[in-house]
Amino acid sequence: MSTSSDSTQPTWSGDEPALTGGTFEIPFTASSDTSEGFETGGCSHLVAVFADAPAREALLNKYKSVIAWHARRIQDTSPPAKRRKVSAPTCGTCNLTLSRPFACLSCSFGGCWSDGHITNHLKEVSHSFCVDTKSGSVFCAECGDFIYHPTIDELYVSTVVLIEEQQTHFQTGKRTREPYQAWVPTNDECAALKDTTVLPCYGRRGLLNLGQTCFFNVILQSFIHNPLLRNYFLGDRHNTRLCKHTDCTCCEMDNLFSEVYSPNQTPFGPTSFLATTWKVSAEVSGYSQQDAHEFFITALNQIHGTCRGSTNISCICIVHQTFAGQLQSDVTCERCGNTTSTVDPMLDISLELKGKSGEVGAENTLAGCLRRFTKPEKLGAKEYSCSKCTKAHEAVKRLSILKLPPVLSFQFKRFEHKTVSKAIPQKIDTPVRFPASINMAPYTTLVMNSSGKDGASSYSGPEAMYDYDLFAVINHEGQMDNGHYTNYARLQDEWYRFDDEK
């Protein structure tokens, strides 16, 4: 499929040279027998097409071409001004620009979904299927609904992964990303799996409040639903029977995951974990109310200190493999233009809800807070002394994210001191909207620096490298001196509310 700067209608070509060459070969892993087993519960019209080998191959090739076009299109994270001038696809009926094109799988027509132009096209010319280029979902005109088939699903995943592999390379060196290979069990592994017993693993279990320990439970729930921590401890990477540490937080984490993923679904009381925390961290001990973020940092430090691979330099423990990133601070002298850069480690990012004026920002969104976080800040002459000029001058300071961690944690600064004495802190109750997924590319050092230099071209990688999906949210209800914490966490595709007060 290709689009040119002279055309106003997208062309969805199944025989695009870039898609049929040796560098783009996606085998159809599902055999023709797949459709037979799916016939009773799936779309009979798609099953009929798959029964005819030439029609099946034509439809899958067209589907692959469309998905590959969209996958290539979203890989470019460079600023719009630096992108190649290619017109966006437009609807073949109303000629409006399509932010989410739907493509016919029988011809080159592309249309919009909201106004029904793509479905009208299918009815007028008696074509059966169209595809959402973003999600890969196939719509059947005869069924009047979106349909599912395992062959289509496998082809979508393999196509997107291959495009990402082709367009991902290291910033230094000429190596490309290692190709994905599906796990195929060996004979020995098959024999070992044959004698195993399948146990139910729900991963959804409430925690008992042990006396104003809601701050404690919400953080543990966020750990439980963290896929990297889950895989680490359920993978027996820390064995409690072999551990030689006393008051070991990693052992408590291992026991916690064992309890949560056990067949027992009654609420669990993490008494041993709480007692260990009190022994090693006096600042969060006792039955008084504590700050959840403070315990979050404390728990990470405790896990780091008792984890295998823990070092002071270039640590490879599970905490740093999961949460560790880097912030870069660039200070530019306005007199000579000299820029001084400082890199600091981070485990989370604290975001202000108020701007420099002291008022709550108009953009009460996560993206708005991040823009405020990375916005250049003026420094007075008394705040900065240039190392090149050797004199005090005004300067501009800007923060950016040099290295993104696999799991990114945000904390909103909701407490402020309004009184003159600043003795009584008060809470900022302004609600903040945040999406289910966010792309962090605009806030990284690489993208921000490349967008600030004319003609500069630096590879920032495919867009998928910067996408984050939300899996846990911690809320605080109440004021500074009292309140209650609750947790929302995602398990697979469902969200659950955890409240130990209920």
Structure confidence by residue, pLDDT tens digits, 239-290: 999 998 899 999 999 999 999 998 888 999 999 999 999 999 988 888 888 8
At 386 the pLDDT is 80
Annotation says 484 is catalytic: yes
Higher pLDDT, 209 or 174: 209
CA distance 28 to 151: 8
Angle at 488 (CA atoms; ends 222, 355), nearest 5 degrees: 90
Confidence label for 35 from pLDDT (cuts 50, 70 and 90): very low
Is 190 a catalytic site residue? no
The strand ranges marked E within 392-459 are 395-403, 410-413, 415-417, 425-427, 437-439
β-pair type (395-403, 377-379): antiparallel
In this prediction, residue 32 carries a pLDDT of 39
Specify the higher pLDDT residue, 174 or 499. Answer: 499
Q: For residues 224 and 227, give the distance between their C-alpha atoms in angstroms, rounded to a whole number.
A: 8
Query: Which residue, 163, 105, 165, is CA-closest to 133?
Result: 105
The catalytically annotated residue of 45, 127, 393, 484 is: 484
Are residues 89 and 101 in contact, defined by beta-carbon separation less than 8 angstroms? yes
The CA-based diameter of the chain, rounded to the nearest angstrom, is 81
Q: Is 344 helix (H, G, I), strand (E, B) or coil?
A: strand
- Give the pLDDT score at 199: 67
Mean pLDDT (the chain) is 82
SS3 of 162-197? HHHHHHCECCCCCCECCCCCCCCCCHHHHHHHHCCC
Counting DSSP H helices and E strands in the chain, the numbers are: 15, 18
Q: Average the pLDDT over 383-389 and give the result.
A: 78
CA angle, 70 then 74 then 77, to 5°? 165
What's the CA gap between 272 and 279, in Å, rounded? Answer: 11
Are 223 and 309 in contact by the 8 Å Cβ rule? The answer is no
The residue ranges of every structural domain in the chain are 44-74+89-168, 213-306
Q: Which of 118-132, 306-320, 354-368 has the highest mean pLDDT?
A: 118-132
Query: Are the C-beta atoms of residues 147 and 42 closer than 8 Å to each other?
Result: yes
Of 104, 214, 250, 251, the catalytic one is: 214
Q: Which of 100-109, 180-189, 196-205, 452-461 has the lowest mean pLDDT?
A: 452-461
Q: State both tokens at 112.
A: 């919009």
Rounded-to-integer distance, Cα 446 and Cα 129, Å: 41
The confidence score (pLDDT) of residue 362 equals 60
| CA quadruple 290, 292, 298, 299: dihedral sign | positive
b/e per residue 427-454 (b: at least 16 CB within 10 A): eeeeebeeeeebbbbbbbbbbbbbbeee
DSSP state at residue 136: -
* pLDDT of the residue at 465: 83
- Residue 295's Cβ-count burial label (10 Å; 0-12, 13-18, 19+) is buried
Q: From CA 217, how far away is CA 273, in angstroms rounded?
A: 10
Q: Are 498 and 208 in contact (CB under 8 A)?
A: no
Is the domain covering 44-74+89-168 a CATH 3.30.40.10 domain?
A: yes
Task: Give CA–CA dist 489/495, Å, rounded.
Answer: 6
What is the reported pLDDT for 297? 95
CB 274 within 8 A of CB 216: yes
Decide if pLDDT at 200 tops 80: no
C-beta of residue 207 within 8 angstroms of C-beta of residue 269: yes
pLDDT band of residue 31 (cuts 50, 70, 90) is: very low
| DSSP 8-state symbol, 247 | S
Give the integer Cα–Cα distance in Å for 395 and 388: 13
Average pLDDT over residues 346-353: 92
Q: What percent of the chain has pLDDT over 90?
A: 49
Residue 344 has pLDDT above 90, yes or no: yes
* pTM (2 d.p.): 0.73
List residues bridging with 162 in a β-sheet.
Answer: none
DSSP 8-state class, residue 88: P
Alpha helices in 15-171 (DSSP H): 17-20, 33-38, 44-51, 53-73, 117-124, 150-167
Q: What is the pLDDT of residue 371?
A: 92
Mean pLDDT of 367-376: 92
Query: What is the C-alpha separation between 476 and 493, in angstroms, rounded?
Result: 24
274: left (phi over 0), alpha (psi -120 to 50) or beta: alpha
Tell me the pLDDT tens digit for each residue of 458-489. 556 777 789 999 999 999 998 877 889 999 99
At 98-109, the pLDDT tens digits run: 888 999 999 999
How high is the pLDDT of residue 86?
57
Name the least confident of 103-107, 182-186, 353-357.
353-357
Which of 20-29, 35-44, 340-349, 401-410 shows the lowest mean pLDDT across its residues? 20-29
Backbone dihedral angles phi then psi of residue 180, each to the nearest 5 degrees:
-75, 135
Question: pLDDT digits over 401-456, tens only?
Answer: 999 999 999 999 887 766 555 566 778 888 899 999 999 999 999 888 876 554 44
| pLDDT over 70 at 90, yes or no | yes
